[in-house]
């Protein structure tokens, strides 16, 4: 596949994946561009052991982790949620629930948090998640389900159940 066709075929998928990791459009665009630049310059390194989308997402993940280490930043939740037209009571309840979910997700240890984010927000298959981590599809499936259980336990604890 030519560079142009590779870019056209996978840009949105890689960008969406990076958005789930970064949560910042400008950073996601920058990392996505760098991902394709690296992929084009290292095309000979692609061994075909995975599909191209998985290879590109692995590059993007590594770039994101490098950037995160470089910046030394912790994840930060947005200050404001967008206006959804709901009443103030419902908005407050939704915001509280959303905040508790984010807190539980943030507290989740690796690799559980990332596997959960890749599956839920990145909409990747278990096979693709396994390839990104250099593990098996079954490993990704088990890790994701353990993450869900741990998140549910934390949510139950925060609800006083």
Which of 71, 106, 128 finishes a domain? 71
CA distance 8 to 5: 5
CB 147 within 8 A of CB 115: yes
**Domain, as residue range, for 52:** 3-71
**Mean pLDDT computed over 46-75:** 76
pLDDT digits (tens, 9 = 90+) for 4-43: 887 888 888 888 888 888 888 888 889 999 998 888 887 6
Question: Model-level pTM?
Answer: 0.47
Same domain, 40 and 100: no
H or E stretch covering 35 = helix 25-41
Q: What is the pLDDT of residues 82-104, one digit of tens each?
A: 444 545 555 455 666 667 777 77
Q: Residue 125: which CATH number?
A: 1.10.10.10
């Amino acid at each position: 596949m030519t560079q142009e066709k590779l870019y056209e075929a996978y840009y949105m998928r890689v960008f969406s994946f990076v958005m789930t990791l970064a949560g910042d459009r400008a950073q996601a665009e920058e990392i996505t561009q760098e991902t394709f630049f690296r992929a084009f310059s290292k095309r000979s390194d692609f061994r075909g052991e995975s599909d191209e989308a998985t290879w590109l997402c692995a590059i993007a993940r590594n770039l994101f982790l490098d950037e995160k280490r470089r910046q030394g930043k912790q994840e930060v939740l947005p200050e404001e949620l967008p206006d959804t037209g709901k009443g103030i009571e419902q908005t407050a309840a939704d915001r509280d629930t959303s905040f508790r979910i984010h807190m539980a997700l943030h507290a989740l240890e690796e690799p559980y948090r990332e596997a959960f984010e890749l599956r839920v927000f990145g909409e990747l298959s278990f096979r693709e998640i396994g390839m990104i981590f250099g593990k098996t599809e079954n490993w990704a499936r088990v890790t994701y389900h353990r993450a869900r259980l741990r998140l549910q336990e934390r949510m139950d604890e925060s609800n006083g159940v």
